[in-house]
Chains A and B, each alone.
Chain A
Amino acid sequence: MAAAAFQGGLLLLVPLASAKDSCVECHGNMDGTLKAPVTEYTNDIHAQHGFSCADCHGGDRNADDPEAAMSAAKGFKGHIARTAVPALCAHCHSDAALMHRYKPQQRVDQLALYVTSVHGKRLANGDTGVATCVDCHSVHNIREVKDPLSPVYPLKLPETCARCHADAAHMAPYKIATSQFAEYRTSVHWEALSKRGDLSAPNCASCHGNHGATPPQVASVADVCGTCHVLFEEMYNKSPHKPAFAAMGAGGCTVCHSNHAIHKPGIGMLAGAGSVCAQCHEANSGGGAAAAQMAGLLTKLDSALNQSDTVLNRARDSGMEVSEPILRQMEGREDLVKARVAMHEFRVASVAKPVADGLAVAAETRRAGEKALQDRDSRRVGLALSLVTILITMAGLWMAIRSLESKPSAVPKPAGR
């Protein structure tokens, strides 16, 4: 009995694409805002799966009479209150059995996460200014996340969040800064996402979560960054900065790299005018000296590798076969990366080891490049000598011909074919 009722319930929830829809018939003939939902809904993922207006708004889509179609007796809800939106969406999206019919791997915990988010908590307290499902996914034009036209497509998500979070008037009551989006657009993450088209590059949701959106707590910043930057987190956890920053209540990685405006890191962050270390460490302090030493080591390796590159490129451009040292050079570049990662342990000894390995590679590849250039010069000398020999031989042959043809017996004879 219960099973039959369950099946019947499911059948009610599964609409028929070819069914009559008086909502579309009437609203399609209207103008302006009353027609807009019908126009927009044609591209909606729900429409493509056969869901109709009545599945959210209630009412009877089979009734031709508007009053009957939109009667409260038929469950017509009309405009959905913002506070009711999450529950309405969750009616289907939290139903694993139903969602399985359309997308077996679709998560069904969106509402559970949403209620833990800052948005969800505020909405529960009656604040209708916060984001609900439709603010991010749109109302009648909901598309799949993988659809490039969806407002939550990775490339579009920052802009979608910024619609509210970059709006000073909207954010004023919450006393939240509105510079995040502008800052994010100067970051390496945005560059990777927008210029390189790397859709796995971090956007707002990668660090804050999507449905359960919450700012990472100070203590957990390194964990959030470490989701992608695993080795950096590992090194940082071993560093003397971890307990120091924790004691200061400072947010780990963001102390040096900032949060939204994360720029391409460089050796200049360790020492020099733009050094972030200098913000806390005096140049003549232990920390300042260590930072300068690490910067020196990294610069030394970078410079040695660049010099080897120059020599190898000259040899390659001269037509010399130097693919092996060029391949080996990549190991030196890897050592530089390792040294930069090790630097996050903030111990000179940890940086010195990969730098020494890299310098050995750079020296080896440079020798190979110089040897190739020497070989090239030797070949050219050999060529010059060979050409001289060839020319002398040709001159000798020419003289032999002249001598031969100066004899009366060798005068060309007439006749032939």
Chain B
Amino acid sequence: MATATRPGSLGSWLDERLGLSALREFAAHKTVPLHSATIWYYFGGITLFLFTIQVLTGVLLLLYYRPSPTEAYESVQFIMTRVQFGWLVRSIHSWSANLMIFTAFVHMFSVVFLHSYRRPREITWLSGLVLLGLALGFGFSGYLLPWNKVSYFATKVGTDMAASVPIAGHQVARLLRGGADVGGATLTRFFGFHVAILPGLTTLLLVVHLGLVQRHGMSSPPWSEGKKLAQMNFFPNFFLRELMAWYAALGVLGSLAALFPWELGEKADPFGSAPAGIRPEWYFLAPFYTLKLIPSHVWRIEGELLGLMGFALLAAWWVLLPFWATNSQGAVRTRWVTGAGVALLAYLVTFSLLGYFR
């Protein structure tokens, strides 16, 4: 596949300085295994595409957004009503954030069910989970930025949860809020997290994650081990198909943004009462509803604290999946992992639906 560059040409000049031929060589030999679950390989790329959209639309929003309690809401209102295509940029930013978290979850569960976390991809799994955590952090911090009623009180509830963690809870809540309560300092901090700290960390982790994917290649499911699977060239065959998936994602994104523009709601009033039936974004609904179900006290332990401890243990167990999924002989406990994956997925779907409809 690799084609030699003509001496004296621009390609040759660049190749000498950037080592493009090595890249070309790598791309020419990169393949994707073909099997019944190949379709799930596309979701990592779709997540990356949506992240790129987030960066681009986020940069455009930065041109007008003002991170202060007196101006934040008005600046978003200005973007939506006065700036040419501002409504589209803001709606796409909000919708793609949600779609990105959705596809990240799909990508994670596809990795679980295809057992792609197994040796030597443990660090790829860990970096992926940190990236998912960062995406949720993006969601939590970005939710407050329009400074509307719902986002204000959702942030209040969220940071209150952090405060209930023993030992360092109050310090963490104070660090997040920049004070005793959610206010102007919180908005400034969340803005800082959203546009500087989280993007920096995400870029770093993304480089590691993608680098590891290239280092280890695409994983084949355990049930195909020992078989000679057909392979598809990554360039251009798989890449063109991925491009089609991106276009499809763009179509869905554009339709959602145009038909259901992201609402701005009412401006936050710190002295007002919380809106009735307040609930977080859909990706936090399952833990939110679980905490609602736990009694205020179980034995002598506070219910919320008990719930948070449970989530921490669950998260730790999930993070360590590649390590407990392999037995002492190095074989993957596929049934256990699939069962755990199905159970977690069922919990997330059921409790999110219950949290939404109740």
Contact = CB atoms under 8 A, between A and B. Distances in A.
Interface string A369-401: 000000000011011001100110110011011
Contact of A417 (B33, B34, B233): B33
B92 to A, nearest CB: 12
B87 A321 contact: yes
Nearest to A382: B258
Given A324-B77, A414-B228, A414-B230, A390 B241 contact: no
Given A321-B80, A324-B81, A394 B248 contact: yes
A416 B247 contact: no
B217 interface: yes
Interface in B82-115: 87-88
A405 interface: yes
A404 B219 contact: no
B31 interface: yes
Given A319-B263, A321-B87, A390-B251, A400 B80 contact: no
B34 A383 contact: no
A295 B300 CA distance: 69
Interface string A398-417: 10110011000010111111
Interface in B203-237: 217-220, 228-233, 236-237
Nearest to A391: B251
B260 interface: yes
Contacts of A320: 261
A217 interface: no
Pick from A379, A400, A410 the residue with the most CB of B within 10 Å: A379
B231 A412 contact: yes
B260 A416 contact: no
A285 interface: no
A416 B238 CA distance: 15
A125 interface: no
A33 interface: no
A380 B88 CA distance: 12
A416 B237 contact: no
B237 A401 contact: yes
Contacts of B230: 412-414
Interface string B3-32: 000000000000000000000000000010
In this complex, the interface size class of chain B, counting residues with CB under 8 Å from chain A, is 35 or more
B34 A412 contact: yes
Nearest to B86: A321
A106 B261 CA distance: 59
Contacts of B251: 386-387, 390-391
B136 interface: no
- Per DSSP, are chain A's interface residues mostly helix, strand or loop, or mixed? helix
B226 to A, nearest CB: 11
B254 interface: yes
Nearest to B229: A416
A409 to B, nearest CB: 9
A414 B229 contact: yes
B243 interface: yes
Interface string B259-272: 11101101000000
A279 interface: no
A323 interface: yes
A404 B236 contact: yes
Given A393-B247, A416-B31, A416-B33, A380 B228 contact: no
B254 A387 contact: yes
A397 B247 contact: yes
Given A383-B259, A412-B34, A417 B237 contact: no
Contact of A416 (B77, B87, B220, B250): B220
Contacts of B56: none
Nearest to A400: B240
Contacts of A398: 244
Contacts of B250: 390
B274 to A, nearest CB: 20
Given A321-B87, A382-B258, A412-B231, A417 B217 contact: yes
A189 to B, nearest CB: 27
A350 B266 CA distance: 36
B30 to A, nearest CB: 10
Contacts of A379: 88, 258
B350 interface: no
B255 interface: yes
Given A401-B237, A404-B237, A415 B231 contact: yes
A71 B112 CA distance: 95
A43 to B, nearest CB: 34
Nearest to A388: B251
Contact of A397 (B88, B243, B254, B261): B243
A415 B228 contact: yes
Contacts of B236: 404
Nearest to B73: A323
Interface in B50-101: 77, 80-81, 87-88
B261 A414 contact: no
Pick from B232, B240, B244 the residue with the most CB of A within 10 Å: B244
B70 to A, nearest CB: 17
B248 to A, nearest CB: 7
A236 B34 CA distance: 88
B217 A416 contact: yes
Contact of B220 (A387, A397, A404, A417): A417
Interface string A347-386: 0000000000000000000000000000000011011001
A327 to B, nearest CB: 10
A397 B240 contact: yes
A413 B231 contact: yes
Interface string A71-109: 000000000000000000000000000000000000000
Contacts of B34: 412
B219 A417 contact: yes
Contacts of B255: 383, 387
Contacts of A387: 251, 254-255
A326 to B, nearest CB: 11
A387 B247 CA distance: 10
B254 A394 contact: no
A412 B88 CA distance: 41
A383 B258 contact: yes
B106 to A, nearest CB: 20
A417 B251 CA distance: 35
Given A323-B264, A379-B88, A397-B240, 8 more contacts: A319-B263, A379-B258, A380-B258, A383-B255, A383-B259, A391-B251, A410-B233, A413-B231
12 contacts: A321-B81, A379-B88, A383-B254, A387-B255, A390-B251, A390-B254, A394-B244, A404-B236, A404-B237, A414-B231, A416-B220, A416-B231
Interface of B: 31, 33-34, 77, 80-81, 87-88, 217-220, 228-233, 236-237, 240-241, 243-244, 247-248, 250-251, 254-255, 258-261, 263-264, 266
